[in-house]
Amino acid sequence: MLDGTDDQPIEGRTFPPPADFARTASAGPDLAGRAAADRLAFWAEQALERLTWAQAPTETLDWSNAPFARWFADGTLNVAYNCLDRHVEAGHGDRVALHWEGEPGDARSLTYAELTHEVKRAANLLLSLGVRAGDRVIVYLPQIPEAVVTMLAVARIGAVHSVVFGGFSAESLRARIDDAGARLVVTADGGWRKGAVSPLKAAVDEALAVDGDSTVEHVLVVRRGGNDVSWTDGRDVWWHDAIETVEAEHVAEPFEAEHPLFILYTSGTTGKPKGILHTSGGYLTQVAYTHSVVFDLHPETDVYWCTADVGWITGHSYVVYGPLANGATQVLYEGTPDFPAPGRWWDIVEKYGVTIFYTAPTAIRGFMKSGREIPGARDLTSLRLLGSVGEPINPEAWLWFREVIGAGRTPIVDTWWQTETGAQMISPLPGVTTTKPGSAQTPLPGIVVDVVDDHGTPVGNGESGLLVVSEPWPSMLRGIWGDPDRYVETYWSRFGDRYFADDGARRDEDGDIWLLGRVDDVMNVSGHRLSTAEIESALVSHPIVAESAVVGAADETTGQAVVAFVILRNKAKTTQTPEEAVAALRAHVAHQIGAIARPRSVVLVDELPKTRSGKIMRRLLRDVAEGREVGDTTTLADTSVMSVITAEMR
Ligand code: WT7
């Protein structure tokens, strides 16, 4: 029995595609062959077949100004039209686009006709507030239909959205507003989280109150939490009031394929987040293509659910643009997996008859902890495909997912990609690939990746190295907002003409790819990227801190956890207890960056391990944080420091 309950070792187990899947899979067995035969022709075909263009492109890739790519550059299209109007025009207006489920239990379903109507009105609302093509709009909303409506309305008028996850602090929000030079912020009074309303408008007020004028002219506020808000006349506008004053009709005009669609900030190795820029035609081509073939989407019958928040790239590509471009019916859920009870997600799967379910390993490991009885008490038989994203999925979690959630019969797609890649890059194809627990396996048809050593030479099977993408792809980032040099330096300086993903990877004996995690100073906590530098600079901004070093330590549930080593200023040691200092610093980081960055532990130390040139050796701190024997310390300036830190840790 191939369901993870027998005694067979996990290593070496494989799961051939079920026969019924293979028969109807939207990725036919010849897909890879077609892509390999003529990669650019393959992408041109995807662009023309999957999207509706106002002006069909005749050019595919312009790489003459590498690494700044232009895809389908002479084509024009409207992204929102592709996600909405064309489905209504094709007679699918009555198909549900969103089954939205609020955390308190309220629910609302929107058909494609209704969603199109809402987006047209919202587009007129944005125009009435002075937003024009090319302007930047910050979206700081809970996971409610208005978040999707806003993103599509911004896209519809050719403006550029930058969604900021609702868990980010006022300070992080302001940094993004300033970097993007945003004209408008769309927010809500508050959103529901674990049974309480967490305020959002207040954070916007705080962000805009920071010294120095901001570029923001208006704050558009959706009523969701019902909590009190303070109001700045002339600047703040209630969504529900203003939307009543605008026209219902809006005709989508086409924009060039390379017109900017969105900026999404993500952590890098420095303290300053990078504004990853994505454009229209290539991005939409690849998200639509991957959403169709990787999830084997049959839009007439499937009910798809991706649990990601729209504040992350997964929410952009696989909640908003991919599914809607493909005319899918999907679930959108506002709250946390375990509210009001640990079975909430499975109740939702049962309620809507979810067939395709896409989530993160950290969530799966959380469910493993609370036991199989909870999902076991629900009817999950509608599920036919499961997907994983955000971090390496350990084989045990993979098998549990398949056996307990997928009743031992659903294929699992472990999808590797990044904010920068815009869409999935490495994944098994359901109905085609024989899967292996824990491996993302093969680049998708049309994508060329390799695993190389430090010198850029491809490694052999059975060996590890660094993951690179060898050829440009349609949904690749087009740069870092306002900083072209950083784009070239970060991704293209190491291996010249190949994109360096900053992930380690191994090729197994069959040549399949296993992801090994980040090789830079970026952590992955619950599938979210955080930079050590960003948290370190938040810590040293606190008056009691003299110096700090942050590492990501292995964590059973969240993949990695933030562990901070901090040297306090002498004065601070006399004015508060160590417990008070630790509590203050954890709260400070949460306030500065957001709750996701709050350190799991703060270790107060007297010294940090440094090389003779003064570089902090995080590798050694990681050893300590993970309770391991400390590795080679011979390059330390002071070799005794690690034994002191290890003692302080206890
Ligand atoms: C980093 C990108 C892709 C959307 C969510 C995160 C890690 C992502 C996998 C996977 C192993 C993975 C990588 C990558 N990652 N998916 N299936 N297996 N690792 O987007 O915040 O841009 O983070 O997440 O380390 O570089 P992101």
CATH for 585: 3.30.300.30
CA–CA separation, 413 vs 426, rounded Å? 10
From 336, 359, 377, give the residue that closes a domain. Answer: 336
Residues 492 and 587 in one domain: no
Say how many Å lie between the CA of residue 524 and the centre of ligand 1. Answer: 8
- Strand segments (E) across 410-463: 412-415, 449-452
Both tokens of 384, joined, read: 């036919």
To test the pocket of ligand 1, the residue of 418, 419, 424 to mutate (highest count of ligand atoms within 8 Å of its CB) is 418
CATH code of the domain covering residue 149: 3.40.50.12780
Contact of 524 with 418, CB cutoff 8 Å: no
From 301, 336, 371, give the residue that closes a domain. Answer: 336
Q: Does the beta carbon of 518 lie inside 6 Å of ligand 1?
A: yes
Contact of 495 with 458, CB cutoff 8 Å: no
pLDDT of residue 439: 96
Contact of 137 with 164, CB cutoff 8 Å: no
Both tokens of 269, joined, read: 């190795």
Candidate from 79-83, 293-297, 514-518 with smallest mean pLDDT: 514-518
> Is the bond preceding residue 609 a cis peptide, omega within 30 degrees?
no
Both tokens of 488, joined, read: 């070239």
Q: Please state the atom number of ligand 1 nearest to the C-alpha of residue 416.
A: 17
In this structure, is residue 22 part of a structural domain? no
Mean pLDDT value across residues 438-466: 96
Q: Does the beta carbon of 275 lie inside 6 Å of ligand 1?
A: no
Q: Tokens 């600079």 map to which residue?
A: 537
In this prediction, what percent of the chain has a pLDDT beyond 70? Answer: 98
pLDDT of residue 4: 41
The parent domain of residue 300 ranges over 38-336
In this structure, is residue 28 part of a structural domain? no
Residues 192-220: pLDDT tens digits?
Answer: 999 999 999 999 999 999 878 999 999 99
Residues 511 and 538 in one domain: no
pLDDT at 447 over 90: yes
Residues 224-256: pLDDT tens digits?
Answer: 999 999 999 999 999 999 999 999 999 999 999
pLDDT of residue 645: 86
Residues 591-634: pLDDT tens digits?
Answer: 999 999 999 999 999 988 987 777 788 889 999 999 888 888 87
For ligand 1, atom 18, which residue shows the shortest CA distance?
392
Residues 146 and 261 in one domain: yes
From 302, 336, 370, give the residue that closes a domain. Answer: 336
Q: Does the beta carbon of 503 lie inside 6 Å of ligand 1?
A: yes
The three-state secondary structure class of 256 is: strand
Mean pLDDT value across residues 282-291: 99
pLDDT of residue 219: 98
Say how many Å lie between the CA of residue 571 and the centre of ligand 1. Answer: 42
Q: Does the beta carbon of 419 lie inside 6 Å of ligand 1?
A: yes
Residues 107 and 254 in one domain: yes
For ligand 1, atom 8, which residue shows the shortest CA distance?
390
**DSSP assignments along 93-160, one per residue:** TTSEEEEEE-TTS-EEEEEHHHHHHHHHHHHHHHHHTT--TT-EEEEE--SSHHHHHHHHHHHHTT-E
Q: Does the beta carbon of 512 lie inside 6 Å of ligand 1?
A: no
Q: Please state the atom number of ligand 1 nearest to the C-alpha of residue 501.
A: 26
pLDDT at 551 over 90: yes
pLDDT of residue 590: 95
Residues 63 and 96 in one domain: yes
Candidate from 14-23, 91-100, 241-250, 464-473 with smallest mean pLDDT: 14-23
In this structure, is residue 131 part of a structural domain? yes
pLDDT at 3 over 60: no
In this structure, is residue 273 part of a structural domain? yes
User: Among 179, 229, 228, 241, which residue's Cα sits nearest to residue 204?
Assistant: 229
In this structure, is residue 370 part of a structural domain? no
CB atoms closer than 10 angstroms to residue 49 = 10
Residues 467 and 528 in one domain: no
**pTM given for the model:** 0.92
CATH code of the domain covering residue 459: 2.30.38.10
The count of domains in the chain is 3
Say how many Å lie between the CA of residue 417 and the centre of ligand 1. Answer: 5
To test the pocket of ligand 1, the residue of 163, 503, 519, 560 to mutate (highest count of ligand atoms within 8 Å of its CB) is 503
Say how many Å lie between the CA of residue 160 and the centre of ligand 1. Answer: 24
- Label residue 8 by pLDDT band (50, 70, 90): low
Say how many Å lie between the CA of residue 218 and the centre of ligand 1. Answer: 34
Q: Does the beta carbon of 182 lie inside 6 Å of ligand 1?
A: no
Q: Does the beta carbon of 391 lie inside 6 Å of ligand 1?
A: yes
Residues 601 and 471 in one domain: no
In this structure, is residue 403 part of a structural domain? no
Q: Does the beta carbon of 414 lie inside 6 Å of ligand 1?
A: yes
Is the torsion defined by CA of 243, 247, 248, 252 positive or negative?
negative
Say how many Å lie between the CA of residue 418 and the centre of ligand 1. Answer: 5
Residues 531 and 496 in one domain: no
For ligand 1, atom 5, which residue shows the shortest CA distance?
390
Phi-psi region of 181 (alpha: psi -120 to 50; beta: other; left: phi over 0): left
CA–CA separation, 72 vs 78, rounded Å? 14
CA–CA separation, 136 vs 139, rounded Å? 10
Residues 86 and 173 in one domain: yes
pLDDT of residue 373: 95
Q: Please state the atom number of ligand 1 nearest to the C-alpha of residue 317.
A: 4
Residues 320 and 175 in one domain: yes
Candidate from 110-114, 149-153, 520-524, 550-554 with smallest mean pLDDT: 520-524
pLDDT of residue 469: 98
pLDDT of residue 598: 96
For ligand 1, atom 12, which residue shows the shortest CA distance?
391
Residues 119 and 159 in one domain: yes
CA–CA separation, 238 vs 80, rounded Å? 24
Both tokens of 631, joined, read: 């590795």
**DSSP assignments along 264-304, one per residue:** EEE--SSSSPEEEEEESHHHHHHHHHHHHHTTT--TTT-EE
Residues 471 and 484 in one domain: yes
Q: Please state the atom number of ligand 1 nearest to the C-alpha of residue 517.
A: 25
For ligand 1, atom 24, which residue shows the shortest CA distance?
390
Residues 337-383: pLDDT tens digits?
Answer: 999 999 999 999 999 999 999 999 999 999 998 899 999 999 999 99
In this structure, is residue 430 part of a structural domain? no
Backbone phi, then psi, for 427, in 5-degree steps?
-170, 150
Mean pLDDT of the chain, nearest integer: 94
Contact of 108 with 341, CB cutoff 8 Å: no
In this structure, is residue 428 part of a structural domain? no
3-state SS record for 482-517:
CCHHHHHHHHHCCCCCCEEEEEEEEECCCCCEEEEE
pLDDT of residue 266: 93
Both tokens of 357, joined, read: 């379910």
pLDDT of residue 406: 97
The three-state secondary structure class of 213 is: coil
